[in-house]
Structure 1
Amino acid sequence: MQIQATEVDLSTPTGPMRCYVYRPKSDVGTAPKQYPALILYSEIFQQTGPIRRSAQIMAGHGFIVLVPEVFHELNPAGTVLAYDDAGRDKGNADKVAKTLEAHDSDTQAMVDYVRSLPDYAGKLGAMGFCLGGGLAYRAALHPAVLATSCFYATDIHSGMVPSQAGNSSLERTGEIRGELQMVWGKQDPHIPPEGRALVYQRLSAHKVNFTWHEFNGVHAFMRDEGERYDPELQLLGYQLAIGLFKRVLG
């Protein structure tokens, strides 16, 4: 399936948000087919090459994919942070400078946008990596999000992304109504076993519909750049996510 890419700047309460939109390509002169949509949340580095390729892969399997600039309030539109010490430090500083409530309003802006698209089939999912895995978990609180795939989701167990009292993602886990998929690396130092156990216990206590997958992998094993990349686990990860979204979203 061929895809096409566009950009859109959405209005949010905290300022304009650049989103990159990938979708199956329509034949010229024909009415557009309709597809389910995914919000794909990036790592702290925003839309890097690996994130763009992830979005393209998902779009090529029959989804409209939106990639937001998660720190649009804190950087000029189009900012991409490098996978180096300076980029990591800037991204981590941005992470603690933006609240979950601001991410919530970003999600609402994207929900409103996809609902306006003529090729949107009416069903929405979310996925993400690292910080984006935690933001996808947060998006699962939205009633429009029917299925969510979270890869090595940081900050859920630690509460590193600030929020108002009683409004952390972990505390609101019981509000998740769609199906959730959690994918982890056992050798990931950013989400240690006790952190993963805390998330598992909370999901189980609230009887959330979820599946749980732990692989022998390090953090960011899906990222197809750098020494952490594990092609075998990446393929398994995409198969899991695509299977979930095809089954739930159609």
Structure 2
Amino acid sequence: MQITSEWLTLDTATGSMRCQLFRPHNSNKRYPAILFYSEIFQITAPIARTAAMMAGQGFLVLVPEVFHELNAAGTVLAYDDAGKDKGNADKWAKPLSSYDSDNAAMLSYLQKRSDFNGKTGAMGVCIGGHLAFRAALNPAVNAACCLYATDLHSNTLLIGSAKQTLDCASEIQAELLMIWGKQDPHIPAEGRAKIYQVLTQAGCNFSWHEVNAQHAFMRDEGERYDPALALWVYQQARELFQRM
């Protein structure tokens, strides 16, 4: 399936948010959508390639600049210490409630598209995995694929007028696909166990996978990339979103 991409700007409660939309080239059909959330580095080349891969499976993939309030439009952070420090500072500075209003803006935009079929999923890596989980708090989101979701077990992000994400697990109606790397120092075994227990007690509909991989094993740059696991994830994600 051939795809195309375009940039657009959405109005949110906290200002303009630049997004990149990847979609099948044939706009005469209607497709389900995926809200795809990046790492702290925003829309890097690996993030764009992952979004393109999902779009090629027959989805509208909308990728926001997750820290749009804190950076000039188009800001992409490098995969180095300076980029990591800036991205982490942005992560701690943006309240969770602002992501909720970002999600509302994206969902509203999708409703206006003639090629949208009304079904929406969420997917993300690292902090984006957390944001995909949080997006599932909105009943308009039907499924979420959360890849090595950081800061979910720790309940340490700035909340604003919202509640910590994991504390809201019982509100989730969507099907969840939770994928973790066993060698990921950012979400240790005890943190993963806590999340599993909370989801079980909340009665969530979820599948759970712990694989032999490090943090950011989906990123196709750097020594932590695992191509075989990445291919398996794409297959799992496609099947999840096709069930919506």
The TM-score with structure 2 as length reference comes to 0.98
**Does 2:203 match 1:207?**
yes
Conservation of the 8 A alpha-carbon contact between 2:41 and 2:76: yes
Q: Kindly indicate whether the alpha-carbon contact (under 8 Å) linking 2:96 and 2:162 is maintained by their aligned counterparts in 1.
A: no
Who is 1:175 aligned against? 171
Name the CA distance, whole Å, in 1 between partners of 2:128 and 2:156: 13
Per-residue CA deviations over 1:207-243 (Å, capped at 9, x if unaligned) read 1000000100000000000011011111111111111
Unaligned runs of 5+ in 2: none
The residue type paired with residue 228 of structure 2 is E
Distance 1:112 1:194, change over 3 A: same
Which residue identity lines up with residue 247 of structure 1 in the other structure? R
Distance in 1, matches of 2:241 and 2:170, equals 21
Runs in 1 of length 4+ with deviation above 2 angstroms?
A: none
Name the counterpart of 1:76.
Answer: 72
> Aligned AA for 2:122?
A
After superposition, the C-alpha distances for 1:88-144 in whole angstroms (9 at most, x for unaligned) are 000000000000000000000000000100100010000000000000000000000
Q: Which residue in the other structure is 2:120 paired with?
A: 124
Query: Where do 1:95-174 residues align within 5 Å?
Result: 95-164=91-160, 167-174=163-170
- What are the equivalent positions in structure 2 for 1:29-40 lying under 5 Å apart? 32-40=28-36
What amino acid sits opposite 1:157 in the alignment?
Answer: H
What is the letter of the counterpart of residue 243 of structure 2? R
SS of 1:8's equivalent in the other structure is strand
The one-letter code sitting in structure 2 at the alignment partner of 1:105 is S
**1:226 alignment counterpart:** 222
User: How many equivalent residue pairs?
Assistant: 244
Distance 1:116 1:83 in 2: 35
Deviations 1:186-216 (A, max 9, x none): 0000000011011100000011000000100
- C-alpha separation in 2, matches of 1:58 and 1:181: 15
**Are the aligned partners of 2:97 and 2:162 in contact in 1 as well (CA < 8 Å)?**
no
Equivalent residue, structure 2, for 1:5: 5
Q: CA deviation at 1:161?
A: 1.9
Return the offset for 1:160.
2.9
The separation in 1 between residues aligned to 2:73 and 2:156, in whole angstroms, is 24
Cα distance in 1, alignment partners of residues 94 and 77 from structure 2 = 16
| 2:63 aligned partner | 67
Q: 1:88 — aligned with what?
A: 84
Distance, in Å, in 2 between the alignment partners of 1:79 and 1:68 is 12
Aligned CA RMSD, in angstroms, stands at: 1.0
Q: 2: distance between equivalents of 1:179 and 1:65?
A: 18
The sequence identity of aligned pairs, in percent, is: 60
Correspondence for 2:37: 41
In the alignment, is residue 54 of structure 1 matched against residue 46 of structure 2? no
Distance 2:72 2:156 in 1: 24
- Structure 1: gaps of 5 or more residues: none
**Given residue 8 of structure 1, which amino acid in structure 2 is its aligned partner?**
L
